[in-house]
Amino acid sequence: MPTYDSVVLGEKTPIVFDFGSACIKYLIVNPKDRRVVVIESIMTPSKFKDTLGEILFMHFEVYEGFTILGAWQSGPLGGKRIHRDLEIQLRQSAYLVDDSSREQEGIPFGNVRACFVSPAERAALWNNWRLLTKEGTEQHDNIPLPDYAEESFAYPLGDEGGQYLRIPSRLRETASEGLFTGDTDNVTLHTLILESLLLCPIDCRRQLIENIVCIGGTCMMPGFIHRLNEEIKTALELPRYASLAALKDSIKFHNPPSKANYTAWLGGSIFGALESLPGRSYSRTKYLEQKTIPDWSSIWETDITENRDFIHTR
């Protein structure tokens, strides 16, 4: 291997070599499914192996399967936020009716009780109306409401009493807007995703944005994924996210193999069936020794302590 030897020894200018592309283009294999086997002469300097190891382990960092805690983001955006906004709008627009006075054109609650997410263009009309009318508390003749279904639906309040809560149909559409409009800190679902990407290493940003999986009952609302995709692409045009603008055409959402509201539980079930689980479990004997249960911030230290001899012999 004279070519590689001369590069390592500094006799030739080092070149940039894309191992991933070489595996796919020339070997026609997936580099994730194959191990790197170094076949060398016994006279090859040790510096060659050290340099190769530095390239593979330092420049091509293995981040798959590990949580990038430094890029973790969170915000008060979820089902509770929708319930809060829905309660505010119900107090403003809904009213009680007796069973005897129910209008025939009222839609039964059971058929239309699920909320949905509007496209960004239509949501902008609602947000503009709510801003100009101060959340609908002020009426202006020159600020018309966006077009929406005039029918309302009735929600029964218990089995006795015969009272129903008459709810305007537009509340089904506007209840979820808080997820995308944010608060005083401008924290929204799409800004959380983009802020997280900014904190991630540059070489893994594209792969991350190509593998977005939404879980939880909130993202099961009709139109949720489409709206989130729209908002991310729109936000990428802002100066704040100029470094991510090239990823605009790489955004991909994947459907989990189960309903989104129990996907997290399914992942735990699959992990619990792995043969390697006993090695990652916490036994009663360990607990009696340490009298504490490690969490995500200390489990790695526990593994290092228990496998210290193995690590030193590698």
Take residue 55 and report the two structure tokens written for it. Answer: 């390239």
Secondary structure element (H or E) that encloses residue 87, with its range: helix 79-93
Take residue 166 and report the two structure tokens written for it. Answer: 């008459």
Q: Which CATH superfamily is domain 184-260 in?
A: ATPase, nucleotide binding domain (3.30.420.40)
Residue 54's pLDDT is what?
A: 77
Take residue 181 and report the two structure tokens written for it. Answer: 């409009």
**7-11, 90-94, 122-126, 234-238: which has the highest mean pLDDT?**
234-238
**pLDDT tens, position by position, 179-198:** 888 776 778 999 999 999 99
**pLDDT tens, position by position, 23-32:** 666 666 666 6
* Cα–Cα distance, 229 to 119 (Å, whole number): 10
Q: What is the pTM of this model?
A: 0.66
Burial of 172 (0-12, 13-18, 19+ CB in 10 A): buried
* Cα–Cα distance, 215 to 298 (Å, whole number): 26
Domain boundaries of the chain, sorted by first residue: 2-59, 79-179, 184-260, 282-314
Task: Give residues with Cβ within 8 angstroms of 15, minimum separation 6.
Answer: 7
* Cα–Cα distance, 234 to 230 (Å, whole number): 6
- Rounded (10°) angle between helices 224-235 and 120-132: 80
The radius of gyration of the chain from alpha carbons, rounded to an integer in Å, stands at 28
* Cα–Cα distance, 174 to 81 (Å, whole number): 12
Select the more confidently predicted residue: 53 or 158.
53
What are phi and psi for residue 6, nearest 5 degrees? -65, -30
**6-20, 47-61, 233-247, 268-282: which has the highest mean pLDDT?**
233-247
Task: Give residues with Cβ within 8 angstroms of 144, minimum separation 6.
Answer: 129
Kindly tell me if the per-residue pLDDT of 109 is higher than 70: no
Strands (E) across 50-162 are located at 95-98, 107-108, 152-156
Secondary structure element (H or E) that encloses residue 164, with its range: strand 163-168
Report the percentage of the chain scoring pLDDT > 70: 64
